[in-house]
Amino acid sequence: MDLLIQFLTNTGFYLADYRNIIMLVVGGVFLYLGTAKNYEPLLLVPIGFGVLVGNVPFFKGFGLGIYENNSVLHYLYFGVTSGLYPSIVFLGLGAMTDFSSLLARPKLMLLGAAAQGGIFFTFVCALALGFLPKEAGSIAIIGGADGPTSIFLTAKLAPHLIGPIAIAAYSYMALIPVIQPPIMKLLTTRKERLIRMPEMRTVPKRERLIFPCVAVFLCCFMAPASIPLLGPFFFGNFMKECGVTERLAQTARSSIIDIATIFLGFTVGASTQGDVFLTPKSVGIFCLGAIAFSIATGSGIVFAKIMNLFLKEKINPLLGAAGVSAVPGSAREVQLMGQKEDRTNFLLMDAMACNASGVIGSALAAGVLWSFMV
Amino acid sequence: MTGLENISAHNGWAIVCVGVSIVVSGLATLSFAIAQLHKLLGLWDNRRNLFQKFKNRKENMESQETPVLELSLDVQENIRNFKLLTAKIGDPFSLPKLIEYSEKCGLKSPLSTINTLLTAKVIVPDGNGYFKWFN
């Protein structure tokens, strides 16, 4: 009888409190959004299920929890805290990115730079709300609209906030179709939305091959702290473009990135415990995340309008919204917004150029923030 | 601490200014570099033609200069004669005296020869109003 009582008191049913229940509901919501509504399923499904698994109540000391040494989840979580999974994801991203459109129109890179203004604006806002500088840096990187970058920087600066920041970052990436279009419409006129981009030149293979070498040299020399992200990113791209390592590039952009995404999402979800997630800080993080996204979108658009004051060949300002790193969601929204005004206006390739630039810009900003905070 | 006080206490403004500058200048530099990339590759592809053009231009420049340095046989003979004269006058020598002596000796076109020697820097001023042979 004693044994039975001991067993029952160790079950999750006995140990559960209201915070576990709430987090289980949150995990269920993510699963629903990912599976039924198809909102970023590759991210929300692992995160959602991770939240479910990570918030099952258990008796501490058995080596079960994600924060307990020698537990399976803890070993898997190492990839998050060390920044390993984001680096691997970036390797795969580089192997699937085509920089031709960016190489054909290099001035679009400036829109990617401008969109990172959301990061620094949010940094100041987070400090104003009373967050510590490292916490503010982690929250601000949500404005880069890049999940792996957000997780990487948060793991380095404020690992206790990984859960809410990752969930905020991925949630807002999934909500791009909701967040960006009103801002794009507010900041542009119909005449500007109708601007057509001229046809791009064909970029030869040699340029696409030299670009990752030049880019890694320039970016990593400028901000060495961005090496863990930009190094694998451009390596993956080089593997793709050189043509002699197609097998490796194919593996990087399929199996490797998928494995990293599964473990990244699952362990981030599992690390999101009620005592950290259900706090006023999380509300602040979610609010600041929305600000970061909005300002990033707006600053890209406004910068494009400023550039048009000096350019003979005008840029469609909608492209500024694609300067955030949310590939390919924001590029898709730019294309859709452009086509709403003119069905024959195809902005997708130019928007992808801005997207690619945003990936580089957000990784660079993360490296800069990390080097400032260390 | 919250508000502007917290921002100032943690160097928020400086971090933002420097951070934005680094990110923008980094991407602007990269943008400039890739804008020049296809031009540099074009130059590299055309390097043989360019090298040939550069070589031809250099040869043209040299051939334009050499008439000054390539002295005719008459001038070379006159140089030998002038050297004999300056040996008598003394080194450094006065140019009017050299001209006077060369006319007396009946040397062909002394003024034009001296002009050629001055232009070719075979005869150079010594800074005191006299001239000497450049060795």
Q: Which of B19, B37, B41 sits opposite A368 (nearest CB)?
A: B19
Helix, strand, coil percentages, rounded to 5, for chain B: 75, 5, 20
Q: Which of A156, A161, A144 is nearest to A365 (CA)?
A: A144
Predicted pLDDT of residue B107: 81
Q: Residue B63 — very low, low, confident or very high, per pLDDT cuts 50/70/90?
A: low
Rounded-to-integer distance, Cα A342 and Cα A340, Å:
6
pTM of the model: 0.78
Asked whether residue B18 is domain-assigned, the answer is yes
- Same structural domain for residues B35 and B84? no
Tokens found for residue A208: 């696409």
- Long-range CB contacts (< 8 A, 24+ apart) of A335-342? A336/A181, A337/A181, A337/A184, A337/A185, A337/A193, A338/A193, A340/A193, A341/A190, A341/A193, A341/A194, A342/A194, A342/A196
3-state secondary structure of B132: strand
Cα A136 from chain centre: 17
- Residue A53 in contact with residue A218, Cβ under 8 Å? no
Predicted pLDDT of residue B65: 54
- Residue A122 in contact with residue A273, Cβ under 8 Å? no
Number of domain units in chain B:
2
- Is residue B130 left, alpha or beta, with left meaning phi > 0 and alpha meaning psi from -120 to 50? beta
Predicted pLDDT of residue A69: 83
In chain A, which residue's Cα lies nearest the Cα of B4?
A: A128
Rounded-to-integer distance, Cα A119 and Cα A145, Å:
9
Helices marked H in A82-175: 84-96, 100-104, 109-115, 117-128, 133-140, 147-157, 162-174
Per-residue pLDDT tens digits for A202-257 = 999 999 999 999 999 999 998 899 999 999 999 999 999 999 999 999 999 999 99
Tokens found for residue B129: 């109003």
Average pLDDT, chain A: 90
- Same structural domain for residues B78 and B128? yes
Residue B27 to residue A123, Cβ atoms within 8 A:
no
Residue boundaries of the structural domains of chain A: 68-373
Residue A127 to residue B28, Cβ atoms within 8 A:
no
Per-residue pLDDT tens digits for A107-146 = 999 999 999 999 999 999 999 999 999 999 999 999 888 9
Q: Residue B99 — very low, low, confident or very high, per pLDDT cuts 50/70/90?
A: confident
Predicted pLDDT of residue A7: 81
Taking the Cβ of residue B42 and every Cβ of chain A, the question of whether any pair is shorter than 8 Å is answered with no
Give CA separation, B36 vs A106, A207, A234, B29, B72, in Å. Answer: 10, 11, 19, 11, 50
Kindly write down the DSSP assignment for every residue of A337-358, as one continuous string: HHHHH-TT---HHHHHHHHHHH
The residue type at A90: F
Considering only A146-155, B68-77, B117-126, which range has the smallest mean pLDDT? B68-77
Asked whether residue B24 is domain-assigned, the answer is yes
Taking the Cβ of residue A207 and every Cβ of chain B, the question of whether any pair is shorter than 8 Å is answered with yes
Q: Which of B8, B20, B30 to mutate to test the interface with A (most CBs of A within 10 A)?
A: B30
> Cβ-count burial of B97 within 10 angstroms (0-12 exposed, 13-18 middle, 19+ buried)?
middle
Q: Which of A334, A328, A367 is nearest to A195 (CA)?
A: A334
Cα A254 from chain centre: 18
In chain B, which residue's Cα lies nearest the Cα of A221?
A: B26
For B35, the domain range is 1-45
Q: What is the dihedral of CA B40, B41, B45, B49, to 10 degrees?
A: -10
The residues, ordered by sequence, that sit 6+ positions from A28 with a Cβ below 8 Å of its Cβ are A48, A52
Predicted pLDDT of residue A60: 73
Predicted pLDDT of residue A258: 95
- Is residue A118 left, alpha or beta, with left meaning phi > 0 and alpha meaning psi from -120 to 50? alpha
Q: Does an H or E element contain B97, and which?
A: helix B95-105
Residue A110 to residue B18, Cβ atoms within 8 A:
no
Residue A109 to residue B30, Cβ atoms within 8 A:
yes
Rounded-to-integer distance, Cα A33 and Cα A54, Å:
19
Asked whether residue B64 is domain-assigned, the answer is no
Residue B30 to residue A361, Cβ atoms within 8 A:
no
- Same structural domain for residues B79 and B37? no
Q: Give, rounded to a whole angstrom, the gap between the first and last alpha carbons of chain B.
A: 83
Asked whether residue B68 is domain-assigned, the answer is no
Kindly write down the DSSP assignment for every residue of A270-291, as one continuous string: HH--HHHHSSHHHHHHHHHHHH
Rounded-to-integer distance, Cα A275 and Cα A166, Å:
16
